[in-house]
Homo-oligomer: A and B are copies of this chain.
Amino acid sequence: MKSTDTPRSHVQRRGARSNTREHLIRAGLESVLENGWAGTSVDKVLTTAGVPKGSFYHYFGSKDDFGFALLETYQAYFLRRLERCFGARPNGVNPSFTHKLAAFLSESTVGMRRFRWRRGCLVGTLGQEVAGLHEGFRKRLDASIRDWEAQLAASIRMAQDGGEVRANFDADRLARSFWAAWEGAVLRARLARSAAPLVLVVEDFDQLIHI
């Protein structure tokens, strides 16, 4: 630490440290979501985050370690979003599955539109580059989608218990179908710069489960 620095408390220093890490992760997510993994350089992330190079290797052992941290942050954020949209409500008043789907669609559309359709899904983006990445990425990406499937399947089962969705449908299979269609629709929405592909997937799915 240079002598000109104002002495800071332990708590302040820890706060600054975790802020630096967060800044790096935020800048990394923005870059990978727009430009992909190969299109993201550590140097550019550092510039965007306003962090000196030495700091990066203080927090992450390598670019791969950074990538794993990005995935972990993204996955935590996405699972919170799924819980918010598809989970049981703490107050016990449960919206219909149709309303839950609509809430997820609305959040997703607002999010994609905010960034003018430039940002997709981290799992979809890294997934397209998986052949060139560390094998650990493939496993974590695969596990990420399996978590989404489990969370959606649980919500479908709740709708089956409530009599909204027919009990003889396979909730796990429906959830797998939904995420495949959703990932494809996110890609299509970026290309078309339109919410229409997202709306289509949700309408199809809503219709399918209510047959």
Interface residues of A (CB under 8 A from B): 34-39, 118-120, 124-125, 127-132, 138, 141-142, 145, 173, 176-177, 179-185, 187-188, 190-193, 197, 200-201, 204, 208, 211
Residues of B close to A188: CB separation below 8 A: 127, 145, 179-180, 183
CA distance A182 to B179 in the complex (A): 11
Copies of the polypeptide in the assembly: 2
Q: List, sorted by A's number, 26 A–B pairs whose CB atoms are closer than 8 Å.
A: A34-B131, A35-B129, A35-B131, A36-B39, A36-B129, A38-B39, A125-B128, A127-B187, A127-B188, A127-B191, A131-B190, A176-B197, A176-B200, A177-B200, A177-B201, A179-B188, A180-B187, A180-B188, A180-B197, A180-B200, A180-B201, A183-B183, A183-B184, A183-B187, A184-B184, A184-B185
Given A34-B131, A35-B132, A132-B35: A181 and B177 interface contact (C-beta under 8 Å)? yes
B36 engages A132 (CB within 8 Å): yes
Q: Which B-chain residue is minimally distant from A211 (CB atoms)?
A: B211
Q: Chain B contacts of A141 at CB under 8 A?
A: 191
Given the complex of chains A and B, what is the CA–CA distance between A180 and B201 in angstroms?
A: 8
User: How many Å from the CB of A67 to the closest CB on chain B?
Assistant: 13
